Amino acid sequence: MTCKSNNCHFGIVKLKLGSILTNGDLSILNASPPDLYIERFNIALGQYMGALQSIVPLFIYMNKFYIETKLNRDLKDDLIKLFTEHVADKHIYSLMPLLLEAQSTPFQVTPSTMANIVKGLYTLRPEWVQMAPTLFSKFIPNILPPAVESELSEYAAQDQKLQRDLIQNGFTRQVVAHFPRLLAWLQSA
């Protein structure tokens, strides 16, 4: 196959990347049991986003003088769109219920893993916030509307419920005693 235009070369790169995303190591997600699904998605997302940090600078010339000027697009945005279409779109409806379930059980999934996935999903497609606004609001500021004074008692009840849940799962106030600033803050609240 002979290509005479830069557009053809860029199309081949996108086609190859799409093929890798669809048929590559990410197929392990489909066969993952629920307890490993979140962690494996986090690894795949992290590896891809990390690779972008290397790929985009390598192709800075192509991005600056071809993709941006002739196509009026950005290489990083195009590569994020590829991952979204070939991976995240296919897994979001399996992943989101697992994230919501994991959120209801403290430390079932490490906080850093939850933060990475939620922030990554928001980067890929901000409208996914509508699927679980409370989950996204725990990791991304200003997702929910501002607090209202008339709902302060409801906020206090939610905090008390969280404290009870933590105590039921083995987190006692003695653990908090090792963190003096946190203890002082809890006592003043």
pLDDT tens sequence for the chain (189 residues): 445 555 554 554 555 555 555 555 556 677 778 778 999 999 989 988 888 888 777 777 776 777 777 777 787 888 899 889 888 998 999 999 999 999 888 778 899 999 999 999 999 999 999 999 999 999 999 998 888 888 888 888 888 888 888 778 777 666 555 556 665 666 665
Domain ranges within the chain, ordered by starting residue: 6-144, 147-189
What one-letter code names the amino acid at 60? I
For tokens 């005693």, the residue is 177
Cα 86 to chain centroid, rounded: 16
- Residue 51: enclosing H or E segment and its boundaries? helix 34-58
Cβ(176)–Cβ(183) under 8 Å? yes
DSSP string over 105-160: STTSS-HHHHHHHHHHHHHH-GGGGGG-HHHHHTTSTT-SPPP-GGGHHHHHHHHH
Q: What are phi and psi of 31, to 5 degrees?
A: -95, 5
Query: Which residue in 10, 18, 16, 129 sits closest to 83, CA to CA?
Result: 18
Q: Given this model, what pLDDT does residue 10 score?
A: 52
